């Protein structure tokens, strides 16, 4: 007799339910990302930098450039966090190779 799997695969959802499921997954991902100190620091730095540019009356092109660079930085941090989660899942024990990667 087989035991039930510990993490059963959820059923595929379609239609409007898919939209709600995707929103839920995205919010869970953002909450995981929020636990990363580096993400919070980068977000704070972006907000302060953009605020300073606005206060100083910088040209719009500079504000847009800094906003794009800040969003790229946050996206790379999200990818880094995703890779860390996958490595931790695949190899839960401490590994020098995983640390260096």
11 DSSP 8-state letter: P
Q: Considering 77, 84, 85, 93, which one is annotated as catalytic? A: 77
CA 87 to chain centre: 15
Name, in order, each residue with C-beta under 8 angstroms of 81's C-beta and a sequence gap of 6 or more: 32, 33, 36, 39
Instruction: Count the Cβ atoms, other than its own, within 10 Å of residue 82.
Output: 13
Is the backbone of residue 4 left (phi > 0), alpha (psi -120 to 50) or beta?
beta
Active site residue 84: no
**Which residues are designated catalytic?**
77
């Amino acid at each position: 007799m087989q035991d039930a799997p510990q993490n059963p695969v959820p059923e595929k959802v379609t239609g409007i339910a898919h939209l709600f499921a995707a929103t839920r997954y995205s919010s869970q991902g953002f909450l995981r990302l929020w636990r990363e100190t580096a993400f919070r620091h980068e977000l704070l730095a972006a907000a302060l930098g953009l605020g300073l540019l606005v206060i100083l009356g910088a040209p719009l092109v500079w504000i847009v450039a800094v906003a794009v660079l800040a969003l790229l930085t946050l996206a790379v941090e999200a990818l880094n966090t995703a890779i860390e989660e996958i490595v931790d899942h695949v190899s839960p024990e401490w590994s020098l190779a995983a640390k260096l990667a």
